[in-house]
Amino acid sequence: MMKVIKQAGGALFLACMLQGCMTVASISVSQIPVAAARKHKISASASNVTVLLIPFGSSFPERARGDLLSQCQGGKIEGLLSKHQVTDYFLGLFFVNEVVMEGYCLHNQAKG
Amino acid sequence: MVIMKSFVGPLIVLSLLFSTMNACTYTAAVSQTNIPIQRNKPVEATVHKFIFLGFNFDNDEVYQLVEKLKTQCPDGQVRGILTQDMRTMYLLFFFWARDTVAKGYCVSSKAVATNDADFNVDTEQSPARAEIDYKESTLKLQSEADGVVK
């Protein structure tokens, strides 16, 4: 019986270590366009990893924005939701910083 | 478990050593505003604050961001602003540096007005038009309901 409990405890501990606990660090929403303009939804995300408190780059928001811009060339982007989230692994020894951006690409209807 | 302990200890010591020797930058917050079509004139502003032992009594330096962006775009509007708030830690987190970066696009006021007007042709619904649409849809629903009753 004790062996089973120990094994279950070990499995639970491993599961806790391996799974990523996610927290939202910051969030923002910009002006949302009218319903008729919300046809072309775009999204982009980028992340960087921090291992043992050593971060590997902090340019991930720019990469996310660059990705978003490439999806809406010749148009403007409105209704932007930007979410910065952190996922911890192995009791926080490793964590992933990720930014997710979602918005609507509006193309100039008047000029086609 | 014993193997785990033997790994975790040295790893933590190593990380502390790295933290002492290096300045690690962490992102604390990110925000992004609407992005315009005209993206040919990027503007950028940064503010920096040094904090000792976590003693910090105001965050007023961030107001300089707006002023700095305004001076770079005197005849237009700054749009599509990406702000990133970062912390750089030195010497086991005894010293901090806080950097806030704002990157956007300077768009001339004329271009903004023209562009918004063009977009509004098909996307913006005037209040009068909305009212007409609402009345039409209400009448349609009412007539459908009447048809069902009959």
ipTM of the complex: 0.74
* B84 touching A (Cβ < 8 Å): yes
pLDDT, mean of residues B18-38: 82
Q: Which residues of A touch B25 (CB under 8 A)?
A: 55, 58
Q: Is the pLDDT of residue B104 over 80?
A: yes
Query: Exposed, middle or buried, A4 (CB in 10 Å: 0-12/13-18/19+)?
Result: exposed
Please tell me the predicted confidence (pLDDT) of residue B20. 62
- Distance from the B109 Cα atom to the nearest Cα atom in chain A, whole angstroms: 16
B55/B44: higher pLDDT: B44
Q: What is the pTM of this model?
A: 0.69
B75 half-sphere exposure, CB direction, 13 A CA radius: 4
Residue with tokens 């964590």: A95
Distance of CA A83 to the CA centre of its chain: 6
Q: What is the mean pLDDT of chain A?
A: 86
Q: What is the mean pLDDT of chain B?
A: 78
Query: What tens digit of pLDDT does each residue of A46-79 get?
Result: 999 988 878 888 889 999 999 999 999 989 999 9
The secondary structure of chain B in percent helix, strand, coil, rounded to multiples of 5, reads 45, 35, 20
Query: What tens digit of pLDDT does each residue of B52-85 get?
Result: 888 888 888 899 999 999 999 998 999 999 999 9
Of B76, B84, B85, B86, the closest CA to residue B39 belongs to B76
Q: Which residues of B touch A82 (CB under 8 A)?
A: 30-32
